[in-house]
Structure 1
Amino acid sequence: MTYVVTENCIRCKYTDCVEVCPVDCFHEGPNFLAIDPEECIDCTLCEPECPVDAIFSEDELPADQEHFLEINERLAQKWPVITAMKEPPDDAKEWEGVDGKLQYLEE
């Protein structure tokens, strides 16, 4: 099983989760983070660190977010690993809780 970054992360891209990951399975894109399912060890540490509740275990993914399992897998293959916390985008607060952000995902 793996953990999955979902739509709430788009344009918020808080990196609190990256700091606690013991296996460096997070990958960074322009405005989203992805978890490599091959690297994730299901340790549960990242989920409570996300300030916008964007991370779910694969088994607990909301039905409308299930496509993010494939998105994480695909993007983790092309984006670089991120291992340290960074400042969020300047407008991150404005994007918290906004629905329908998939159209803004920059690959």
Structure 2
Amino acid sequence: MSFVITAPCIDEKAAECVEVCPVDCIAEGKDQFFIDPDICIDCGACQAVCPVEAIYHEEELQEEDMVFLEKARKFYQT
């Protein structure tokens, strides 16, 4: 399981999450940041500092936000 960055991050990209991630699993994409679901250690540090409350645990995602988990997976496949 991992954390997922959702819609409020689009075009915001505040980057506090990148600074606190202990395993460097957050990268900047074209319009938002992404968390690598294969590297995330599920610590929650990123969620605690997100100023736009865009980060949710994978198990807490609403149905309409599942697309952001898929976007993250695709981002890290390339």
Please confirm whether the aligned pair reaches a TM-score higher than 0.5, indicating the same fold: yes
**How many pairs were matched up?**
78
Runs of 4+ deviating beyond 2 Å: none
Answering whether residue 11 of structure 2 is matched by residue 15 of structure 1, we say no
Q: Residue by residue, what CA displacement relative to the aligned partner does 1:5-64 show, whole Å, maximum 9, x if unpaired?
A: 111110101100111100000111122100100010001110011111110000111221
The structure with the largest strand share of the pair is 2
Give the structure-2-normalised TM-score. Answer: 0.92
Residue segments in structure 1 that go unaligned for 5+ positions in a row: 79-107
| Aligned residue in 2 for 1:101 | none
Give the structure-1-normalised TM-score. Answer: 0.69
Larger radius of gyration: 1
RMSD: 1.0
Structure 1 distance, partners of 2:54, 2:75, is 16
Structure 2 distance, partners of 1:48, 1:59, is 17
The percentage of counterpart residues that share the same residue type is 47
Q: The residue matched to 1:37 in structure 2 has which SS?
A: coil
